[in-house]
Amino acid sequence: MRKELLNKVKRVVVKIGSRVLTDSDGSLDVAVIAQICDDISVLRSKGVQVLVVSSGAIAAGRSELGLTEKPKTIPQKQAAAAIGQTRLMHAYEQGLAPHGLKPAQVLLTSEDLGSRQRFLNARATLDTLLGFGIIPVINENDTVVVDEIKFGDNDNLSALVTNVAEAQLLLILTDVKGLFSADPGKDPDAKLISVVKGVSREVERVAGGSGSTVGTGGMATKVAAAKKAGKNGVPTIMVAGKQSGIISAALRGEDVGTMFLPLDAGLNRRKHWIAYTLKPAGRVVVDEGAREVLLKKGKSLLPSGVVQVEGRFDRGGCVRLCGPDGKEFARGLSDYSSGEIARLAGRKSREIEDILGYRYGDVIIHRDNLVVL
């Protein structure tokens, strides 16, 4: 099954974690980077386009600043990233050069992908680089990023890049062989899970949390990335990144690591952007009748189903949709601002113009701009 699926892959996002790229003292491991670049060249020789989402900048800069542990403050992280990013790119440049390949640095923040225009600009840039045979090396722009515009971790970023670049596979290189049935460090009977069909709550429970002192992610963030990629109809493979030839082995369809298969064809690219890239600016609470209609019949949200609106947002803002229990079940782009929705809550569509003096349409959120989570 793996071979048949992977034979169709012509564009892959390779996410490389900090613990793969660094040695025991936290310094950048150029030998591992060279090894990864060797594998990338094998894929390129077979006509597969490769985008790299690379951690390691902060870890590389940490030693240059004389820090013995992971930076704790944003200024420390930004300073480490400013130094480390140049060293990281130099390592990729040296690793790719013997194969006649060149890297290009691409730094992003969530604001870059939260704007539809900038999202499309990023896609065009990546397409152009790949068209010239360049290897984009993508990282979060840690030198300017703050908590409000962070992706959270590069696992999440890699899932979003998979959508931006329209890749057919996400390959996550980490410091373990894949997802185990239990923590292999604590349970000697833990077994490597070869295939996961859809990321269920049980799978998320098994993934647990982060235990790294080098990176920001853990198994939970990698499984979350696989879930997001799966919502786009894209499979994910998680493998031990330091193993020589592991990228080529994974793309050949060998039974390595853990493969996460999507349950269905996935969301279209725009709905994936709404659900997983945009940051909601507010919350709209709907009654049970509206929730049922939105969940089961794929209808638009009418003003009559709105109970309450929270937050401040303009027309076109991304909002969370919550049922009477307060739990989010969908996200969407609003046709009206928060102030307008507050005035229209519980009213009929035919009353919109009488209440506001104008109308943009009969619905609060059109079904084409609404994603059930």
Same domain membership, residue 95 and residue 35: yes
Q: What is the mean pLDDT of residues 113-119?
A: 79
Q: Note the pLDDT tens digit of each residue in 173-223.
A: 999 999 998 888 788 888 999 999 888 888 888 877 444 434 444 788 899
Same domain membership, residue 253 and residue 117: yes
Strands (E), the chain: 11-16, 49-54, 103-108, 135-140, 169-174, 195-197, 236-240, 258-261, 282-286, 306-311, 318-322, 328-333, 370-372
Q: Which of 271, 300, 334 is the last residue of a domain?
A: 271
Same domain membership, residue 221 and residue 105: yes
So what's the pLDDT on residue 144?
66
Structure confidence at residue 285 as a pLDDT band (50, 70, 90): very high
So what's the pLDDT on residue 272?
81
Q: Which of 242, 271, 300 is the last residue of a domain?
A: 271
CB 239 within 8 A of CB 257: yes
CATH number of the domain enclosing 328: 2.30.130.10
Structure confidence at residue 279 as a pLDDT band (50, 70, 90): confident
Q: Note the pLDDT tens digit of each residue in 18-64.
A: 889 988 777 889 999 999 999 999 999 999 999 999 988 888 888 78
The larger pLDDT score, comparing residue 259 to residue 263, is at 259
How many CA atoms are closer than 13 Å to the CA of 90, on its beta-carbon side?
A: 9
Q: What is the mean pLDDT of residues 110-138?
A: 88
How many CA atoms are closer than 13 Å to the CA of 21, on its beta-carbon side?
A: 29
Angle between helices 219-231 and 269-276 (to 10 degrees): 150
Percent of the chain topping pLDDT 90: 55
Same domain membership, residue 240 and residue 343: no
Across-strand partners of 106?
A: 138
> What does DSSP say about strands 236-240 and 195-197: parallel, antiparallel, or unpaired?
unpaired
Same domain membership, residue 171 and residue 96: yes
Structure confidence at residue 354 as a pLDDT band (50, 70, 90): very high
Structure confidence at residue 256 as a pLDDT band (50, 70, 90): very high
Same domain membership, residue 205 and residue 64: yes
Same domain membership, residue 190 and residue 228: yes
Q: Is the dihedral of CA 251, 257, 259, 260 positive or negative?
A: negative
Q: Note the pLDDT tens digit of each residue in 130-177.
A: 999 999 999 987 666 655 435 557 898 999 899 889 899 999 999 999
Structural domains counted in the chain: 2
Same domain membership, residue 298 and residue 263: no
So what's the pLDDT on residue 270?
77
Q: Which of 271, 293, 310 is the last residue of a domain?
A: 271
So what's the pLDDT on residue 214?
40
CB 364 within 8 A of CB 336: yes
Q: Above 50 in pLDDT, residue 342?
A: yes
CB 224 within 8 A of CB 170: no
Mean pLDDT of the chain: 88
Same domain membership, residue 137 and residue 35: yes
Percent of the chain topping pLDDT 70: 94
CB 65 within 8 A of CB 29: no
The SS3 call for residue 303 is: helix
So what's the pLDDT on residue 146?
55
Same domain membership, residue 195 and residue 233: yes
So what's the pLDDT on residue 210?
41
Length of the chain in terms of residues written: 373
Q: Note the pLDDT tens digit of each residue in 53-96.
A: 998 888 888 878 888 777 878 888 888 888 989 999 999 999 99
Q: Is the dihedral of CA 164, 197, 266, 249 positive or negative?
A: positive
CB 54 within 8 A of CB 16: yes
Domain of residue 358, residue span: 280-372
